[in-house]
Amino acid sequence: MSIFKQFIKSLFSPKHIAAFRMQGIGKTINYLFFLALLMCVPMIVYMFLYVISGSESAKGIVEAELPVLALKGDIMPVVFVTYYLLVSFILFVKVSIFGGTGLLIARILKKRAEYRHTFRMAAYAVTLPAIITIILELAGWTLPSGYLLDWLITGAMLYAAVRYLPGAPK
């Protein structure tokens, strides 16, 4: 299944998220890097708009008072790559935490799972909250408890996916 089909299926189907646990870890890691790239889009759009249409007085103040924050043409790729790596790292940490949480949920529900399975399931369970975050950032909205909502949706998707796992042997 292509990465785009996985992306679409992981937005709404916990059953498919549970099935994705059997994929190779390389495909899952590739998917996480793809998702991190999508999550960088709002920042790239805002940076591009700032550089193109930012007011001259604001640029002058930033360059005079805070030269570290001045964005020159040659530093833009470095900023983008650094931001992408930071988002990727945070996404991997989040998926790792939810991999452990998924293992705990599987034990409580008496389902058969290993950490490698729950890690892969968590990687696909973060898709819906990531897309919601992207849409909200592009719209310029902020939620008071955005991170809490993000983690609750991820936990709910992971819980729903764990329910589709086979039962533990008796």
What does the pLDDT read at residue 44?
Answer: 81
| Domain edges within the chain | 12-162
pTM of the model: 0.83
Average pLDDT of the residues in 3-29: 93
96-144 residue pLDDT tens: 999 999 999 999 999 999 999 999 999 999 999 999 999 988 888 888 8
Q: How confident is the model at residue 146 (pLDDT cuts 50, 70, 90)?
A: confident
Amino acid, res. 113: A
What does the pLDDT read at residue 58?
Answer: 58
- CA dist., res. 54 & res. 111, Å (int): 54
> Locate tokens 């089909």: which residue?
5
3-class DSSP state for residue 111?
strand
34-89 residue pLDDT tens: 999 999 988 888 777 776 676 666 566 556 655 555 555 566 777 788 999 999 99
Q: How confident is the model at residue 149 (pLDDT cuts 50, 70, 90)?
A: very high
> Locate tokens 């490698």: which residue?
116
- CA dist., res. 13 & res. 54, Å (int): 42
Please name which of 84, 89, 111, 96 lies closest in space to residue 154, comparing C-alpha atoms: 96
Burial 49-78 (b: 16+ CB within 10 A, else e): eeeeeeeeeeeeebeeeeeeeeeeeeeeee
